[in-house]
Structure 1
């Protein structure tokens, strides 16, 4: 493996570790404490997740582009010429980074997790404190409904990311500001629909912590999860990411002013 690729993979791992350490810590604050510091300010949780994404981009963007999401990597392969041979390695690094982030959150909050599960008589094997680490359907939400929710929400995410990072989009922020806007996009999605199934919109964001929890005592509550829910936060975001990226690629991008179409596209 060449040095450049190694640096890119390390950056993707670090980016996801940052996002999960800060984001899951915010989830711990709202889940484990009573009264929760976010009880009347859910927007604070959303902003914490969004700023975690922003910080990750500022730390690693110059090295790997900070995909920090397998759905983003897949969309870039399909529509932006990202090398397909790198995609599995990027995705593996993203899942590994999310796993490490979950482990760091566990290190910080383990005593609080143990207190919470004992107080509520809800052991890990029954899903006690699982919401700190990975996502789950909200009240009245079935697996299939959650799948379509994630298709819609991740489509909006990729539609936004492609627009924000499009060089011919004169309404997009400049390069140094795009990280903040992408973070606010993540926060906005969470504020708008986070209670449906905790807005995974990122296969690694759910799978990495789920794998950690499976090893750390949650067992079947993490994998395969009640009603075999584990696949929804993976397949839904992958599907939605392709939909949103394709929507931008074919319904918006060709009509941007000042964009010179290649001959094959013009035809």
Structure 2
């Protein structure tokens, strides 16, 4: 698999990976938001583990083709620290966002009637942001957009610190080979369980922006883009800054001190 054929496969894999993640993850969000009583009302970990296992599945399906970045923050960090080709960064990100839009469309297909019923029952409209939380993130109680930005820097730093450690072939404590997909999924679930109520733990620009763009096209309008308080940029910028930060912590504060036979 060389040249254009191989690269096309990588882009398809990235789009497919994010489609899987959003289809399952946003469906879990729909289960949380649209039903009363919610199946997750006192079992929020269920939402977290659904997102995490969606990531695990995406890695198992596409990892051998593209490496399953499935997240622009991951792509950026790999380009800076792990020799991922710079020319592939933008195409990968575009594929990831397209995948997120497809995933949102599938969730809309699945839960469309429930969304309509939810909005009419609560006197909400799409333009007013009704059921928007199914698709994309928003700041929770007491959280301003600027505070949310810094939250996402910290949380995505933890994500990339973990991913870099888990996928470092020279790290003798890392899970080997195929176990890493499950551990990365659990890491995503753990971040959600630890801090998901702050602003929905996007930790991935494509995860938020793709569904937001889809909703903007489907009648959510300004409640999706730019969003209340012009919020749309936060789940993009925070994770990008945080991802590079977390990767830096691993590269400079951990990797140089691995056992000497390991790193070159």
Under TM normalisation by the shorter chain, which class is it? over 0.9
Equivalent position of 1:177 in the other structure = 179
Deviation at 1:91, TM superposition (A): 0.3
What pairs up with 1:12-161 in 2 under 5 angstroms?
12-161=14-163
Q: Which runs of 4+ in 1 moved over 4 A?
A: 259-262
For the 8 Å contact 2:73–2:240, the answer to whether it is kept is: yes
Deviation at 1:261, TM superposition (A): 5.4
2: CA distance, partners of 1:256 / 1:174: 16
**TM-score normalised by structure 1 residue count:** 0.97
What pairs up with 1:214-229 in 2 under 5 angstroms?
214-229=216-231
For the 8 Å contact 2:136–2:212, the answer to whether it is kept is: yes
SS at match of 1:8: helix
Distance change in 2, residues 1:152/1:16 (3 Å): same
For the 8 Å contact 1:98–1:209, the answer to whether it is kept is: yes
Deviation at 1:259, TM superposition (A): 4.5
SS at match of 2:178: helix
2: CA distance, partners of 1:114 / 1:125: 13
In the alignment, structure 1 segments of 5+ residues that lack a partner are 263-267
For the 8 Å contact 1:213–1:222, the answer to whether it is kept is: yes
Query: Aligned residues, how many?
Result: 262
Deviation at 1:108, TM superposition (A): 0.5
Residue range with higher mean Cα deviation, 250-259 or 217-226: 250-259
Deviation at 1:260, TM superposition (A): 5.7
**TM-score normalised by structure 2 residue count:** 0.98
For the 8 Å contact 1:168–1:258, the answer to whether it is kept is: no
For the 8 Å contact 1:16–1:101, the answer to whether it is kept is: yes
Deviation at 1:174, TM superposition (A): 1.1
